[in-house]
Structure 1
Amino acid sequence: METIYYDKAIELLHKVSTPNGFLASAENTSNYQRVWARDGVICGLAALASGDEKIIKTFKNTLETLAKYQHELGTIPSNVLVGEDKVDVSYGGLAGRVDAVTWFVIGVCQYAFHTKDDSFIWKHENEIEKALRLLEAWEFNNRHLIYVPLSGNWADEYITDGYVLYDQLLRIWALKCYNYFKKSKTISIKIEKIKEQIEINFLPNSEGQKIHERAYYEMDFQDYLPCSFSPSGYKNQFDAFANSLALLLNIGTKKTQNKIINHSYKLALNTKLGLLPAFWPPIFENDEHWNLLKDNCKYEFRNYPYEFHNGGNWPMVNGFFGLALIFKSEELKAKAILDRINEANSLNNFSFFENFNSNTSMPNGVSFCAWSAAATIIVHQSLYTNFKILL
């Protein structure tokens, strides 16, 4: 029975494959019938894990599309619609998408690494270098952490802004991937500087000059890394994606990492679907950040408590948690998370919903969401084959 979950996930990635790359969903919803940077790269990781030649080719096409429409300043499109009579390129909605840049670099490097095609790196060296220079500019204060606007990444209707942990970690991953090929001392030093600043500013009881010293010492640190801080202080919600990346990138001490694992797994077990919520705890109407959350939407409000980014369960996010558990030799826990991902993806005759209400387990968002399928493939192949992402 277990292979049906994997087979259905592969089937969905075939359905969303186009000559220009992966679409975000097989559902006929206009904004999802586009080639997206982060969605496409995450689906691409699944393609590489599967070894399926057709969808690996789709991944390559995804990267070529993103490279083709890179802005002259280095910005990678958030998404691209390639139609018969027009091309519509978006670099973001209410704000630009910082993580499109890092996901693109990660994607090019992962493709080259797993296909053993180093020429793909050098073909896109100019685009990668432009992207990395742009990230340098986005530091603004030249202190090694990029400054992300509200609505500036995948959690585009949530409250994180400023020095967002998720984006700092993606940047480290992108630099490490690129340096696997480039072997640059300058990049190696930059990686260490970014990591040092993350540990100084996001870990409790750390030594070193803080960016926001007063806010740091007023923070009530928990058994995980806070999601972001800015001139207005820290936001202390648990960010499942960011903390999973922290485990994959070995941020902090082993004691810190064990605390993250234990906190995350316990939190997952306490939801009806047995999956991690994207951010926790939910923000309610009487909470400090409710108005910030309520007003951060371009069309309709979706961040009701326990839903969407505001405490909702995303199979995609749990895919990276499962990957992190495998990386930390917690295979039994990873297998349990994979089982829960598969159960969620199979609801309503394998509808692969985007996310779920973590309190009621009711589905939200679009169905046949490609990166929900990618979560199954990545964790399955990492558990049962010798597939390993480049870190």
Structure 2
Amino acid sequence: MEETTSPSPSPSPRILFRPEEYRALSGDERSLLAEGYLRAIETVRKNITPKGFSACSLEDNTVYGTDANYRSVWARDGAITALWTVDLEDEDIRKAQVDTFETLLSHQAANGQIPANVNIDTGLPEYAGVGGIASIDSVMWVIVGLVHLCEARQDWSLASRHAARLQKAMDWLAAHDSNNCGLLEIPEASDWADLFGFSYHVLYDEVLWYRSLDCYSRLLHHLGEEERAADYRKHAAFVRTKFLSTFWPTTRADTDGEGGPGHTFTDTQYELGDARYLVAQVSPFSYSWRCDVCGNLLAFLTGLLDHERALMTFRFLWGCGVNDPGPVKNLYPPVQAGDPEWRSYYTVNLLNLPNHYHNGGIWPFIGSMWVRFIHRLGFDELAQRELVKLARTCQLGMSFPWEFNEWHHGVTGRPMGKARQAWSAAGFIRACHDLEALPSDISHAI
């Protein structure tokens, strides 16, 4: 059995976060942020294994039944953790970033799919999740995370070693655009919300598809394949136009390339008038008017959504209180039993009851994007205060303080998921680093 002990203690990390300069906060609040930053690094280190990052600390969680798959390197969690810790100079963390991608890409399936996870103990890959459904977003997070890692280190050797595998992964993703419309057709429950009923054109997944195309074009450019890079840039631009015309309903005739054609079947079926946020999911026969908070935040952080629309979205989400009691609920409003969008499987393990898990639960990793979203809008002091609120959420625990829990109840705010979740801690680190820069100086990196 593969050893899964934590790495040896590291020297004091180089501090890239200086909350003592945040004069709008109290001394206690600044101290809380300073402690949270160091605790977050400690939590990420607890997720280091010989094969890469685990999703949650293996020594702090008891797993049984279907939870056994937590003893794995997960493509989604691992790539996000690598991406959001890329600025750290901790050598153990830097090695785990590369190990994560090496483990996942070395277990690629013949058709190009990157596994959803690879078991740490057995080394066996798993390509499907609940119900045998493939994990689409895992592959896109690997593409995005690997490119940003190479860019940050100014070292493209990792991409060069796996160039053929990365191309096969992009081909596998592109095959999900089954009608050549530009957007991917996503099976139900096949992304991070793997017990939730969104399908076909799903906001969150289409944001990642755009970002994957953009990142892959940059990868090809750095590998000297400029002609193919140009093709992928062109494809990304097409997806961008299709994306905005699909997910932002409007009564305005718009042919400037930002809103798409003025009247489509999608516009007719919506009957929503002018949107205040990107809708969660669209199919030829239905749509969900709910606000996928994660997808909307990602759209702005990747540069898909312009400042004006993002400000409208912020005002809507702020008015709805998605950041109370902690930042933030992943979905507004939650789906109630009897609603047309309700699925009977939402009661599996009692996970997706209203205000639970994917159905309106509070997720610290999305809360970190909320803080960055506000900062990029230019509301610096508010972003600092929301970071304090996120720190207080991450400080809670069922067994010990600073659990950086996986998720919290959407009404009570109490932790309900796994302790010392890697992407919860990594998200806090990334939010801290973003707040150290002027909004205009931050590139559109997830």
TM-score bracket for the superposition, by shorter chain length: over 0.9
Greater shift, 72-81 or 252-261, is seen at 252-261
Give the match for residue 182 of structure 2.
144
Alpha-carbon distance change, 218 to 143 in structure 1, aligned in 2, over 3 angstroms: same
Report 1:148-227 matches (<5 A): 148-183=186-221, 184-205=229-250, 206-208=259-261, 212-213=265-266, 216-219=269-272, 222-227=275-280
The answer to whether structure 1 residue 338 and structure 2 residue 391 are counterparts is no
How far apart are the structure 1 equivalents of 2:322 and 2:172?
A: 40
Greater shift, 8-17 or 48-57, is seen at 48-57
Give the match for residue 371 of structure 1.
423
The answer to whether structure 1 residue 22 and structure 2 residue 53 are counterparts is yes
Give the match for residue 257 of structure 1.
310
How far apart are the structure 2 equivalents of 1:88 and 1:173?
A: 25
Q: Which segments of structure 1 move beyond 3 Å, counting only runs of 4 or more?
A: 209-217, 219-222, 265-270, 385-391
Alpha-carbon distance change, 326 to 214 in structure 1, aligned in 2, over 3 angstroms: closer
Return the offset for 1:361: 1.4
Greater shift, 125-134 or 260-269, is seen at 260-269
The answer to whether structure 1 residue 36 and structure 2 residue 74 are counterparts is yes
Give the match for residue 7 of structure 2.
none
How far apart are the structure 2 equivalents of 1:90 and 1:192?
A: 30
Give the match for residue 93 of structure 1.
130
Return the offset for 1:31: 2.1
Give the match for residue 326 of structure 1.
375
Alpha-carbon distance change, 266 to 127 in structure 1, aligned in 2, over 3 angstroms: farther
The CA deviation string for residues 272-327 of structure 1, in whole angstroms up to 9 with x for no partner, is 22x2210110111131122x2x3257x52311111111111100011122223333
Q: 2:432 aligns with which of 376, 380, 387?
A: 380
How far apart are the structure 2 equivalents of 1:208 and 1:73?
A: 36
**Corresponding residue pairs, total:** 386
- Provide structure 2 residue ranges, at least 5 long, that are not aligned to the other structure: 1-30, 222-228, 251-258
Alpha-carbon distance change, 66 to 201 in structure 1, aligned in 2, over 3 angstroms: same
Q: Which amino acid aligns with 2:433?
A: Q
Identical columns (%)? 27
Q: Which amino acid aligns with 2:40?
A: A
Give the match for residue 293 of structure 2.
240
Alpha-carbon distance change, 350 to 255 in structure 1, aligned in 2, over 3 angstroms: same
Report 1:39-118 matches (<5 A): 39-83=77-121, 87-94=124-131, 95-118=133-156
Return the offset for 1:119: 2.1
**SS at structure 2 position matched to 1:287:** coil
- Provide structure 1 residue ranges, at least 5 long, that are not aligned to the other structure: none
Larger Rg: 2
Alpha-carbon distance change, 364 to 187 in structure 1, aligned in 2, over 3 angstroms: same
Alpha-carbon distance change, 7 to 164 in structure 1, aligned in 2, over 3 angstroms: same
How far apart are the structure 2 equivalents of 1:336 and 1:177?
A: 32
How far apart are the structure 2 equivalents of 1:308 and 1:149?
A: 20
Q: 1:295 aligns with which of 328, 331, 345?
A: 345
Alpha-carbon distance change, 76 to 270 in structure 1, aligned in 2, over 3 angstroms: closer
Greater shift, 62-71 or 355-364, is seen at 355-364
